[in-house]
């Protein structure tokens, strides 16, 4: 089961720890823009890792050392998820992230995308609309599309996402402990 409230709290706590440990001083607007840039980059890394758009390739999907392509994609997915949480926190939109068990189950039963390129571009447009036009509804829709992407188009279970998120959080904590 995906425990969104717990994950959002962990994301906020890690961000606060890094900000304090590294003595980072940024305006609220700069923090928001930085979180959006990070989210944008992580969404691009999902595309780059899965390689769905590389129609010329026979074997798609990149793998980091010691991981399968699917495990690598799941790690990239949780990285992007973390920045969805961070954007929501910086914008005070965490209520948009909270999704009921019924909604999550409904998203899991969605149909796969016919065109991942189109889904990706729509997702990015909604993310950018949420920033430039301050549209909460676009952010909520981007988040739901992102969840559906993970569950249906990439085939990750809620438990897999939860475990991978927490494992990546530990990697990030370890990195901070070793002056990353």
**Tens digits of per-residue pLDDT, 150-162?**
999 999 999 999 9
pLDDT of residue 134: 96
The mean pLDDT of 19-44, rounded to a whole number, is 95
The mean pLDDT of 88-100, rounded to a whole number, is 96
pLDDT reading at 21 higher than 70: yes
pLDDT reading at 8 higher than 70: yes
pLDDT of residue 180: 66
For 46-70, what is each residue's pLDDT tens digit?
A: 999 999 999 999 999 999 999 999 9
d(Cα 89, Cα 101) in Å, to the nearest integer? 21
Q: How many residues does the chain have?
A: 180
pLDDT of residue 170: 87
pLDDT of residue 175: 83
Domain total for the chain? 1
- Rounded CA Rg of the chain: 16
CATH of the domain at 71: 1.10.4010.10
Instruction: Encode 65-133 in three state secondary structure.
Output: CCCCHHHHHHHHHHHHHHHHHHHHHHCCCHHHHCCCHHHHHHHHCCCCCCCHHHHHHHHHHHHHHHHHC
Assign 149 a pLDDT band (cuts: 50, 70, 90).
Answer: very high
pLDDT of residue 114: 94
Find the domain containing 33 and state its range: 4-177
The mean pLDDT of 4-9, rounded to a whole number, is 95
């Amino acid at each position: 089961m995906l425990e969104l409230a717990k994950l959002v709290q962990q994301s906020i706590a890690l961000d606060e720890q890094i900000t304090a440990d590294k003595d980072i001083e940024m305006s609220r607007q700069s923090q928001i823009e930085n979180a959006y840039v990070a989210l944008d980059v992580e969404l691009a890394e999902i595309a780059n890792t899965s390689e769905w758009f590389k129609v010329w390739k026979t074997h798609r999907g990149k793998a980091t050392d010691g991981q399968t392509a699917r495990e690598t994609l799941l790690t990239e997915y949780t990285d992007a998820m973390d920045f969805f949480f961070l954007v929501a926190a910086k914008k005070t939109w965490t209520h948009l992230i909270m999704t009921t068990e019924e909604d999550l189950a409904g998203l899991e039963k969605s149909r796969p995308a016919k065109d991942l390129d189109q889904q990706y571009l729509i997702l990015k447009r909604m993310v950018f609309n949420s920033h430039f036009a301050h549209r909460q509804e676009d952010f909520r829709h981007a988040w739901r599309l992102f969840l559906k992407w993970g569950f249906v188009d990439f085939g990750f279970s809620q438990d897999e996402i939860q475990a991978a998120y927490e494992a990546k959080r530990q990697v990030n904590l370890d990195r901070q402990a070793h002056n990353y």
